[in-house]
A and B are shown apart, each in its own frame.
Chain A
Amino acid sequence: MTAQLAPVVASAEVAPDPAPRSPVRRARRSRGSAGRILVYAILLVTLVGTLIPFVWMFLGSVKTEQELRQRPPTWWPQTFTWDNFAAWFGRLDIGTFFVNSIVVAVFTVLGTLLFCSMVGYALAKLEFPGKRLLFGLVLVTLMVPGVVTFVPLFVVVSRLGLVSTYVALILPFLVGPLGVFLMRQFIGEIPDSLIEAARIDGASEIRIFLRIVLPLCGPALATLAILTFLSSWNNFLWPLVVAQSEDMYTLPVALSLYSVGQNATNYGVLLAGSVLVITPVLLLFLALQKYFIRGITTTGIK
């Protein structure tokens, strides 16, 4: 669980909500403490540190290639240009790449939420022979780095004739050991008495899972959803290898295709593309932030 908390705390600083304002006032009223000021100073520095790369990306995306390569670099664009974005919308079929990325991310997230919570529930609350061994196996696969299984996985996908299909892009990521582990730990905290009460009332296992367990897992599901979405959205190597025609490329593959050459990088196009790739995720995160942080807090209390 601690491993899960770390990145979340870091991202929580991205956009401090109105919430911190009232503690500030209260602190001032109670003659302000040096400690509090220090905490906010640290938070402010981290906030600036987190925001600078984004600011650089947004400002850089409207600079000319010449200015981007200038030494010393400039902060504010000397000449403002939309050319880098025009390259994406004019020449390239960005709509297709966007749709591909969204389809893959959405189905990967839905699949992960469903399957990981099902496996997690079984491993946490059901009694069956070999349960500990099974959980052990799941944990063991957590230790195997993805690159080791990369080529064999591709060979399997290729022999199944799935190369260059959405299925190939989604299927391998529908269930993962990390998600199973996360859900099992979380479901394990739900009191047995709740589940037993439902069972006594005559609810089937499916019904217990759908009506009792899943609704209580909100915070864990939110965490898992965001983690899965981000890793799917940013995934580069697998889509690169599996998509053998351009109409199956996802955004990261397209980004690399059109801006990184063998010997030179077109930084303007790269930054403009990054803005287009990152903005939707950023907006989504800002919109869901409240639920996300609430989820973390409740998880923390447990």
Chain B
Amino acid sequence: MRSILPIAAICFAIVTVWYVGAVGLNAKWERDQASRAGVEIGWAEIIPATMSQDRPVLPAPHQVAVEIWKTTVEKRITSKRSLVYHGWITLSATLLGFVMGVGLGILLAVGIVHNRAMDLSVMPWVISSQTVPILAVAPMIIVVLYNVGISGIVAKAAISAYLSFFPVAVGMVKGLRAPDDMQLDLMRTYNASAWQVFWKLRWPSSLPYLFASLKVAIAIALVGAIIGELPTGSQGGFGARMLNGSYYGQVLIIWSALFGAAICAALMVGAIGVAQRAVLGRTGQAR
């Protein structure tokens, strides 16, 4: 509970800077309008006006809040103008891609730790896969997958998986190698099989690393799903909302989609934190 004050202070600072920025960036349009109409206006008129423009350069925080309220609470969730509707489209692709990516990452890590050939050959590819600018490659992936009959949620999930397998693979390689020589020797004195060493020692040792990786993975899985929605002229999702907003100059739509995505990411990372404490807390491994 002690953390509330610092968090509130930071939020207050951000909102303040945001308001100042909104006034500064939106003032030009107000002045242009005034000079076109041939009237003189001062800051007293400009400041309130900058906070309620229809198409501001930077919308004020309360405008975004109102927009989010209107598109979530006040819309049926089946409506195409509901942020919840679009949110679920993105979220479902995110979760599917996350599961695929985590599975792939763990499999790669297990292979790398147990197989010397994979250890020497796979890691460079894993790393170089992430140097590819995903924003540029995403349309190609979508098109290629479409041509082999994969489209919609699975195609988007593929991009999520492509991004999210990486932290899991890297973290799990480290985690599966966490047992020290003494712990491995102990299993050897029991004449334990490789399978037993894995399940009774390597896997549980790696869990703290896994949870740390999952938090990164879920956040970039969401980014991946949004990127996957950009090139297709997709029917829905946060990405489609952002793209529509920018086509029609509806800055508020972009910002509300942006915040929707951020809130989703925060909730998912938080959920993983809860799972982490449930699994590791009692054993003193959570920190």
* Chains A and B belong together in one complex: no
**Interface on B for A, CB 8 Å cutoff?**
none
**Interface on A for B, CB 8 Å cutoff?**
none
